[in-house]
Amino acid sequence: DAMVIQNPRYQVTQFGKPVTLSCSQTLNHNVMYWYQQKSSQAPKLLFHYYDKDFNNEADTPDNFQSRRPNTSFCFLDIRSPGLGDAAMYLCATSGTGGQGQPQHFGDGTRLSIL
Amino acid sequence: GNSVTQMEGPVTLSEEAFLTINCTYTATGYPSLFWYVQYPGEGLQLLLKATKADDKGSNKGFEATYRKETTSFHLEKGSVQVSDSAVYFCALSDRGDTGRRALTFGSGTRLQVQP
């Protein structure tokens, strides 16, 4: 089945130690998104790629960066994680067809900061 | 800007009860509307969608109708099961400048179904 896969499901890192989360897709979608979701809240969009074009949300901290080396893969880099960055990180993809194209989500990576 | 307002949870129901989760939206233009479901420890799954006024989305016994006159997209199910226990997010999608379909989420409603 075509899908969005996030690795790892659980990640533990130390305060200030860089960490990378990965996402891959077999849907061949043009657009890939990264969301941060804290407990009992809605997902918050951090940034997205439209093909190779990177688009940052205005309030995304500089500590968060992303790379998309090819259509299938996208990475989220957190340069110096703080305690407030502990959250679930969700990757999603969408096509660019007509109205009503949904986003397809992975199962997320839950990040803990020690 | 766009916004989505959902009823606060948790909503606690007995098995086989009728479910309604209210959702209203504010948007310019003609957004698409979605309901996503999130089971514990998992990502979001698309439950149903509607792309224009009076469209009804349906899936797994859940239904929602796109009501432009009341700017609403309420989720309903006639008979809930324990397995429906999850968090439900209402969302709208509007085409942005970059061509992406930006999703604006409501705050989510936790549903707990008791046997």
pLDDT tens for B45-103 read 999 999 989 999 999 999 999 999 999 999 999 999 999 999 999 999 876 555 566 78
Quote the pLDDT of residue B100. Answer: 60
Quote the pLDDT of residue A79. Answer: 96
Question: To the nearest whole angstrom, how far is the Cα of A50 from the nearest Cα of chain B?
Answer: 7
The residue behind tokens 């989305």 is: B57
Question: To the nearest whole angstrom, how far is the Cα of A63 from the nearest Cα of chain B?
Answer: 22
Question: What's the distance, CA A110 to chain centroid?
Answer: 11
pLDDT digits (tens, 9 = 90+) for A68-88: 999 999 999 999 999 999 999
Instruction: Assess contact for B88 and B55: CB atoms under 8 A.
Output: no
| Residue A89 with chain B: CB contacts under 8 Å | none
Name, of A15-19, A38-42, A91-95, the range with top average pLDDT. A15-19
DSSP 8-state class, residue B84: G
Higher-confidence position of A102 and B14: B14
Q: What residues of A are in the B interface, CB distance below 8 Å?
A: 4, 6, 30-31, 33, 40-43, 45, 48, 50, 53, 55, 90, 92, 94, 96, 99-108, 110
* Percent residues over pLDDT 90 in chain A: 86
Quote the pLDDT of residue B97. Answer: 55
- pLDDT mean over B22-26: 96
Give the confidence band of A66 by pLDDT, cuts at 50, 70, 90: very high
Radius of gyration of chain A (CA): 14
- pLDDT mean over A50-69: 93
Higher-confidence position of B61 and B40: B61
d(CA A57, CA A46): 6
The tokens for A6 are 């996030």
Q: What angle do CA A79, A81, A86 make, to 5 degrees?
A: 135
Give the confidence band of A6 by pLDDT, cuts at 50, 70, 90: very high
d(CA B73, CA B99): 24
The residue behind tokens 């998309």 is: A68
Higher-confidence position of B18 and A40: B18
